[in-house]
Amino acid sequence: MDDASQPRLDKFTELTVFLCVVEEGSFSAAARRLERSPSSISKSISRLEARLQVRLFDRIAGSIRLTQEGHRFRHAAQQVVDAMADAENAVSPADEDVAGVLHIHTSLTFAKYQLAPLLPDFLQRHPRLRIKFIIGTDRGDFLKKGIDVAIHSGNPTELSLIGKPLFLRRWIVAAAPAYLEAYGRPGHPDDLRDHRCLGFTIRTQWNAWTFLERPAGPEDVMAATKTINVQGYIGADQGELLRSLALQGLGIVRLAEFHIGADVVAGRLVPLLSEYMVTAADTMYVLYPPGRAPAPRVKAFLRFLDEHFTATHGEPCGPPAQVTRQTAVRTAARFPQPPPA
């Protein structure tokens, strides 16, 4: 659509265009996000400035920055946009009326082992909703990729996102019976230096395996720990591939409890060094953009996650627990195995 054929914007839309320019930092970036031409965005801002009789942006050497008046107007404009969103959400649709496309960014492992088994129930509640997964271990650019929510581990560092903890992720160190028969079983964390370990080629902090200095006892509330930086005999950027390699007897792996708990129960993998295991240092978070009124599809998904993980985890940041075959049985009950890929 050319600029001449675009209708003049109403005042509320002018506010949303202005705020988009502020968030994106340029007219061209705002135009891409709003699917308009850069000239139409520039003209919209010029009309807004003419109507207000004040300059909102300084244009300097091809870049823009807010003026003092622009900063004051931004605060007031955001209040207006938030108030409109609150008004619309005050009459938010019933579950069956939630519609649109929900874009979820997460890792393949979490999508397969945690979310896929839950989707039938979620989509039955919201039959008009569609879901698109964006798979990756990076946090992802919400604006560029059109992400609604992301689920990842580790403390959120993005100031522009809200991070809500879901549950504490525990790890299992394990190997296949065939590997143990060929290479023996490590009796102490230090023995891992002489074993074939399978590691990540991304998020390499996951290759720092933390253990207790000595076997845990009931009195060890603040036991000393040590970290073994494993050298990957084979490396991969996907935990699911590392699981497959471990099942083939190619090495020792450390993966999430929800990921390989069922393999431990079935005897396909054998947990190792359980008496030295410590509570995982990272929490799974759901991330979403700030704002007083998330879209109905986002609110519905956040509510569903809260219901499920509160019910299945009870104590999302509970005390350390040794990973044994018995705890793996409980794990398998909480984390059902997905259908075969």
pLDDT in tens, 51-109: 999 999 998 877 899 999 999 999 899 888 878 776 766 665 566 678 889 999 999 99
pLDDT at 328 over 80: no
pLDDT tier, 205 (very low <50, low <70, confident <90, very high otherwise): confident
pLDDT in tens, 126-137: 999 999 999 987
pLDDT at 265 over 50: yes
pTM over 0.85: no
More confidently predicted of 214 and 253: 253
Query: Which DSSP state fits 260?
Result: H
pLDDT at 211 over 80: yes
pLDDT at 320 over 70: no
How high is the pLDDT of residue 114? 93
Query: Which DSSP state fits 31?
Result: H
pLDDT at 219 over 60: no
pLDDT in tens, 290-299: 765 678 899 8
The span from the CA of 98 to the CA of 146, in Å, is: 18
More confidently predicted of 216 and 199: 199
In terms of average pLDDT, the best of 29-33, 83-87, 228-232, 256-260 is: 256-260
DSSP code per residue over 44-59: HHHHHHHHHTS--EEE
Query: Which DSSP state fits 267?
Result: T
Question: Which of 94-98, 188-192, 251-255, 325-329 comes out lowest in average pLDDT?
Answer: 325-329
pLDDT in tens, 273-284: 999 988 655 788
In terms of average pLDDT, the best of 187-196, 215-224, 317-326 is: 187-196
pLDDT at 271 over 50: yes
pLDDT tier, 233 (very low <50, low <70, confident <90, very high otherwise): confident
For residue 176, what are the contacts with CB-CB under 8 A and spacing of at least 6? 246, 247, 248, 249, 268, 269, 270
How high is the pLDDT of residue 62? 77
DSSP code per residue over 185-197: --SSGGGGGGS-E
Q: Are strands 63-66 and 57-60 parallel, antiparallel or unpaired?
A: antiparallel
pLDDT tier, 186 (very low <50, low <70, confident <90, very high otherwise): very high
The pLDDT mean for the chain works out to: 81
> Following CA atoms 191, 251, 330, 104 in sequence, which dihedral angle do they give, to the nearest 10 degrees?
120
How high is the pLDDT of residue 12? 87
pLDDT at 210 over 70: yes
Element holding 333 (H helix, E strand): helix 325-334
Average pLDDT over residues 221-246: 86
pLDDT at 272 over 80: yes
How high is the pLDDT of residue 273? 93
Average pLDDT over residues 152-169: 78
pLDDT tier, 158 (very low <50, low <70, confident <90, very high otherwise): low
How high is the pLDDT of residue 117? 94
Average pLDDT over residues 17-37: 89
**Structural domains for the chain:** 3-88 (1.10.10.10), 99-168+283-316 (3.40.190.10), 171-276 (3.40.190.10)
Output phi, psi for 140, to 5 deg: 85, 150
pLDDT at 201 over 60: yes
